[in-house]
Amino acid sequence: MEPKHQVAVPSLEEITKERKRLRRGVYYRKALLSTVSVLVVVAAVSVLIATLFLPILQISGDSMAPTFQNGEIVVLFKNRAFDTGDVIGFYYQGKILLKRVIAGPGDTVVIDRDGNVYVNEQLLQEDYITEKNLGDCDIEFPYVVPQESYFVLGDKRENSVDSRNSTIGSIPKDQIIGRVFLRVWQLNKFTFF
C-alpha cells in the first residue's frame, strides 16, 4: 500500500493573515473603482460646463493685441446681452473669432480716415488700442447696425478683419458664443474682464 499524502492544515494565524490580505485587495479594488468613477463624473461635468456655459479658447493671431496675445487662453461666458467694449467670441466660416463690440443694434457708426470711431455722433475713447487706423474697410459710412446684430472691431486696427469689411460685416446675435470674462493663461496675466 502506498502512503497517502498528508495535507498541511494551515494554522489559525495563517488563515487570519490570508483573510486580511484578501480583504485589503477587495478594499483597494473598491477604492480604485470609486476613484475612477468620481474622476469620470468630474470630467463629464467639466466638459458639459465648458460646452454649455464656459467655452475655453486659445488666442490665435494678433488682431486683438495688445489686449490679448497669440497663445493666451481665455474663458467665455455664454450670454445674450453685450455692452460696448465687451470682447466677444463668434462663429465665422467654421472658426471662432474674438473682437470688441463697438456698437449695438440700431447704432450709427462712422470711422474717419484717421481711424477715429464715432458711435451715434460720439467719439469713442478707446484706451485699449495703441494706434488708430481705418484698416481694411470697404463699407460706406454712416453705417447703421442692423437689428439683432453687433458692430465689432479688433484692437489692432491695421491688420484686423472685422465689421469694417463686408466679408464679415455686423455679427448676428445668434452667431455670438459669449463674452470673454477670464484670461487663464499665461498665469502672470490672469485677469477677469
Active site residues: 63, 99
d(CA 158, CA 137) in angstroms, rounded, equals: 10
CATH no. of 56-192: 2.10.109.10
Q: What is the mean pLDDT of each run of 10 residues along the chain (193 residues)?
A: 68 82 82 82 69 72 83 83 88 86 94 92 89 87 93 89 89 89 71 69
C-alpha R_g of the chain: 30
Domain ranges of the chain: 10-52, 56-192
Strand-strand pairing, 108-111 and 73-77: unpaired
